[in-house]
Each structure stands twice: as C-alpha cells, then as structure tokens.
Amino acid sequence: MDIDELLRTQDGLVGHDQARELGIDRFAIHRLVRSGAWIVVRPRVYRAAHHAQSPRSDLRSAALWAGHGATMIGVGAAAWWNLTDRVPERVAFAVGPGGNHTTPPGIVAVRRPVGALNREQVDGVWVVRRSFAALEAAVELGLVDGARLLDRALQQKRIGIAALGDAREAFGQRHGAVLARRLVALAEGGARSEAERDAIRQLRRAGITGWVPNLPVQLPGFGTAILDLAFREHRLAIEIDGWAYHRDVDRFRRDGLRQNEVVVSGWRVIRVTWYELHEDPGYLPRIVGRALALGPAA
C-alpha cells in the first residue's frame, strides 16, 4: 500500500508512524506540513489538505492518535457504528492501566479494560461492540435522547434485545448504571407501562377527573377494543404508545384499523407517546382540557 491508497482508505488521514512505515522520513513529513500539503489535526496525526474534514475523519483522527491498544467507546463508538449522527466534543477511549492518559483536546482516556470479545475493528478503528456502544451512548445522551437512539437501533435491527441485556450486565455498577438498567427495561417492553403511569399522574396533577382506565368498548365488525383511558360522557379516548420498536408493521396496521373503528363509533381519539409525555409533561393535560372544553362528541 502506498501513501495515496492509505489516505483514500483513512478519510485523508495518516498517522506519523504509518507514514514512517511507508518510507516517509520525519524530514519529509515536516516539509509536507510546512508546505500546507498536510495539516496537523492531532499530535502526530495529519490530514492531506485535498481531503475535506468530516465528522467521520474527526473520529478516525482520534483513533489514530489513541492507537490500536485503545478502544473507542460511548457516543463516538455509536457514531462510528452509524447508530447516531452525533459526534461528541470529546471522543472517549477505554485504555488499559499502561495506556496513554495524557490526552490532547478533544480526546478523553477512560482507565477501563475492554475484553478481546467486547471490541471489534470496524473500518480500521477499534470500537466497543455495537450493543455496548449503543447502551453507553444512550446513557451519555440522557433518558429521552438515549431512548431515541436505542429505539431507532432496535427498529432497524442494528441491535437486539438479548445483546442489549448483555451490555447492561457488562455495564456493571459504574456511573450511569441506574439509567442503563432503566433504558434496557424500557426497551424490553416497559415503555408503554411507564407511559400509562405517567399519563395518569399528569392528568391527576392537573386536576382532570372523569376518566376510567382500560375501558372495553364493542365495535361492530371488530369485536371488543380496550381504550387505554376514556372519558365516557365525552366519548373521548386517550391511546398511549411506548417506543416505536414495540409496534411492528402488523401491530401498526391493526392499531390503525382499530382506531378507525373507534372514531367511526363516535369517539374522539387523542394519541400520545412515551416521548411526548417525557419531553412535555404539560402537553397531555392541555390537549385533554381543550378536548373536554368542546363538550361531548356529537
């Protein structure tokens, strides 16, 4: 491999040691930098000037500085796995006890061993396993944004529930373990139950009464439907969804047909998700209050 091929395969980047291995001595490297042909992007890491900087090149340059003994973790690893578009301000690497801990700006070293089975080389960069990266990144991003990351990855079948459970076990008791457990519990099916509890709590706090949970209604030609929350006198139903991952194509279709029958039977339907209940706790009481102010459905 020559230098041009290496630059093509590494987003226009080359490490100092790589350049030396290709026969480019340190004086030639210095001349390339001084002439502007190469740009120093990290200590001993260069980008060819004719290659544009990109979020991916930022991640790779951090990995080239860290070396093969380090493992990219967290949001950076999730971005390398294409699980998120976010690129962290500081790219984190797990390093062993003998690793380099004097880091330049934009890189953080975490003194944590990563077993050989828990890291993979992806496009030349050593990263923590995909499910581990997803969970660590979700914890870093916080409850709602982290949930979105996991939900999308599960929908796209980029990770599976079993692998996510393994990542939770490997997470251990380090900082963020409580949130990690909660996120995995939500992924395993708890999001809808939590959303139902939140919806009830928000209505009660707002002083909105007159609703009943899990109301069975008979729909002609459809059978019995259970409304999550219902205001019988106003014929107003509140339908609550968890994560998108929990609604596969068949269930999505059934829910749509069911809701159509509920509406045709004279009910108005308000639909909310786990995300809406967490991002704006006042939304459900506001929209329900407006609906009740209209009076009973005709």
Sequence-distant (≥ 6) Cβ neighbours of residue 280 within 8 angstroms: none
C-alpha torsion sign, points 262, 224, 214, 182:
negative
Digitized pLDDT (tens) for each residue of the chain, 298 residues in all:
899 999 999 999 999 999 999 999 999 999 999 999 999 999 999 999 999 999 999 999 999 999 999 999 999 999 999 999 998 999 999 997 765 568 899 999 998 888 888 999 999 999 999 999 999 999 999 999 999 999 999 999 999 999 999 999 999 899 999 999 999 999 998 998 999 999 999 999 999 999 999 999 988 877 888 999 999 999 999 999 999 887 765 665 677 777 888 888 889 999 999 999 999 999 999 999 999 999 886 6
Q: What φ, ψ does residue 5 adopt, rounded to 5°?
A: -65, -40
What is the token pair recorded at 292? 């009740």
Letter for the amino acid at 90? R
Q: Which domains does the chain have, with CATH numbers?
A: 1-51 (no CATH), 54-175 (no CATH), 189-293 (3.40.960.10)
